[in-house]
Amino acid sequence: MTIMKKAGLLIFIILFVSLIPLSALTVKLGSPFPEGSVWDSSLKRMAAEWVDITNGQVKMRIYPGGVAGDQADMIRKMRFGQLDAGVLTAFGLQSIVPKTFVLSLPGMLQSEAELDYVIDEFTPRFDEDFIDEGFRILAWSKSGWAYFFTKKPIRTPNSLMNEKLSVSTADEELAVNFKALGFNVVPVSLSELMVALQSGMVSAFYGPPMMAAAYQWFALAPNMIDFPLAPVLGGLVISERTWNRIPERYHDELQAAIDVVARDFYVESERLNIEAMNVMNRHGLQVAGLSPAELQQWYELMTSGHELVVGEGKWVDDDLLRDFVSVLEDLR
């Protein structure tokens, strides 16, 4: 075969291959949200947008309701390529990049404005840390604030220390920290919390209002302490390997679609938290409004506990905490 014929054949092969449609990449995403919920619907809209943006080159298959496993399972599966993406809580994110727990330190953030500010100004510094671990965080999400709920009226930390505080069995490190602060901690899975409240095994728990109302836990612990313990944070992550398989020309538009979902998550969570408070108030919830002195007791105790997770060899190093405090001081 002459050189000219070989060249012509090569050009033909290149042109022919270029006309073959690229096989679609299917991104498998694990989600804790129940199928049919508003959050699940938002993820499905995002999946449809990804198909439109990439002309069908990138599809998304969502595994709702925890069918892909708990957070530890999803992270492990993403590391081994069995799953591509997942919606995680702050503790799931912390298990990948421990220093992100600085955002969830109890008593540190005191308002929605402060939370918004640090998400915009501070969280980008974690991007490279996630990439180093083989992940990319595509969005931070927020779902309100966690509060303490108790069987009998409580106003001060010392009083709560006399109660039996439920801490999720999935949050072992947090249980250790609460215990070190002087609380009487009882590890209980979320699915067993109602039974634990009924039996007297526990007499207090913490969480966002929408969970207290949705699972009817407040009926057995109808007193809420008006102290925002910490923001309820999470995020949508994807394996860096999968993200790099998606043509770069689509990245910005795909990211924009995710940003919309993150806003949807917050709007819906805020609506549900407000609705939950209204429902619980109508059904006997008592909210203990705290005096400035009582609030100060809570902030002092919770911030004193930061030393349990801050320092050399711990989740958050001293320099990072100083930077975080500096960012907050710029706002305050």
**What confidence tens digit (pLDDT) does each residue in 9-47 have?**
444 444 444 433 446 899 999 998 888 888 888 899 999
How do the residues of the chain divide into helix, strand and coil, expressed in percent and rounded to 5?
A: 55, 20, 25
> What does the buried/exposed string (b/e) look like for 47-69 if buried means 16 or more CB atoms within 10 Å of the residue's CB?
bebbeebbeebbebebbbeeebb
As a three-state string, the secondary structure of 137-177 is: EEEEEEEEEEEEEECCCCCCHHHHCCCEEEEECCCHHHHHH
pLDDT confidence band for 78 (50 / 70 / 90): very high
- Please tell me the pTM assigned to this model: 0.81
- Range 69-76 average pLDDT: 92
3 found inside a domain: no
| Amino acid 47: pLDDT | 93
- Range 99-105 average pLDDT: 89
Range with lowest mean pLDDT among 77-91, 102-116, 219-233, 274-288: 102-116
| Amino acid 52: pLDDT | 94
Instruction: Give yes or no for residue 224 having a pLDDT over 70.
Output: yes
Instruction: Give yes or no for residue 326 having a pLDDT over 80.
Output: yes
| Amino acid 91: pLDDT | 87
Q: How many domains does the chain have?
A: 1
- Range 97-117 average pLDDT: 88
Residue in the block written with tokens 């449809």: 48
Query: Per-residue pLDDT tens for 177-210?
Result: 888 889 999 999 888 999 999 999 999 999 999 9
pLDDT confidence band for 329 (50 / 70 / 90): confident
9 found inside a domain: no
| Amino acid 66: pLDDT | 87
Helix (H), strand (E) at residue 295: helix 292-304
Range with lowest mean pLDDT among 31-40, 143-152, 282-291: 31-40
Instruction: Give yes or no for residue 83 having a pLDDT over 50.
Output: yes
101 found inside a domain: yes
145 found inside a domain: yes
Computed over every residue of the chain, the mean pLDDT equals: 87
pLDDT confidence band for 290 (50 / 70 / 90): very high
- Range 291-304 average pLDDT: 91
Range with lowest mean pLDDT among 57-66, 148-157, 303-312: 303-312
pLDDT confidence band for 3 (50 / 70 / 90): low
Query: What's 126's domain CATH number?
Result: 3.40.190.170
Structural domain including 133 reads: 23-331
- Range 59-66 average pLDDT: 92
| Amino acid 316: pLDDT | 85
Q: Does residue 211 or residue 191 have the better pLDDT?
A: 211
Range with lowest mean pLDDT among 7-11, 171-175, 190-194, 289-293: 7-11
Task: Compute the residue count for the chain.
Answer: 332
Tokens of 40: 């699940």
Instruction: Give yes or no for residue 75 having a pLDDT over 70.
Output: yes
31 found inside a domain: yes
Above pLDDT 90, what percent of the chain?
A: 57
4 found inside a domain: no
125 found inside a domain: yes
130 found inside a domain: yes
